[in-house]
Amino acid sequence: MLTIDLTPEVVEECLRKNVEVILAYHPPIFASFKRLTLANTKQRIVLQVVQAGMSVYSPHTALDAAAGGVNDWLASLIDAAGACRPIQPTSVDGTPPSPRSAATTTTGIGRVLQLAAPKPLEEVVADVKRGLRIPTARVALPDGWARDHAVRSVAICAGSGSSVFQMLKAPVDVLLSGEMGHHDVLAATAAGQAVILCEHTNTERGYLAQVLAPRLRALLGDDVNILVAEEDHDPLLVW
């Protein structure tokens, strides 16, 4: 079972469907536990999973940073032909017989997308909404920008992007993420950067059904039934 969050509803779905392994993108144990009791929702989830004999694997940041991972997928929604590189490349500490350190060019934190050709901002937003299958996105514009402002570069971070965007070595036209702090958005627009926010898990969830599930089915074959949780959804609604 593939899911972004291992919520009580997703656990119940896994129990109904006799799931053996859960791939939960977000680790269900995020903050440390000193005890396991039924009085706490997070702890109760762990106890239910253990009692049912289900295994849980959480790739989270590794899946964001990997080549062909979540951030690369987000970039492809805007421009599959554009040049994409990590904001912060992965450093590899070598061991004998090659003790040198190196940085990869395809894996790392976040992405910077250089579009193959300039694209109006409103078209970038439309591409993102279409790819994520969401009806709305929050957009912040710098002073003087219009909907048709030409976009040449986009910095991308699935989930929460504020800390990652602080690693940028050079300015970009647009910051794309799920969420950012209020003052971080103000700082970005003051610096001449537009911001597109789609809510935290909306920037992650589509990857499971559109990319990861097909890859796992091709890799594991018909002997393993790959499911995507139907009960997993973004907790925030727009009324």
Q: Which residues pair with 113 in a beta bridge?
A: 84, 154
As a whole number of angstroms, the distance between CA 136 and CA 9 comes to 25
The annotation places the binding site for a divalent metal cation at: 26, 64, 200, 204
Whether residue 97 is preceded by a cis peptide bond, meaning omega within 30 degrees of 0, is: yes
The annotation places the binding site at: 26, 64, 200, 204
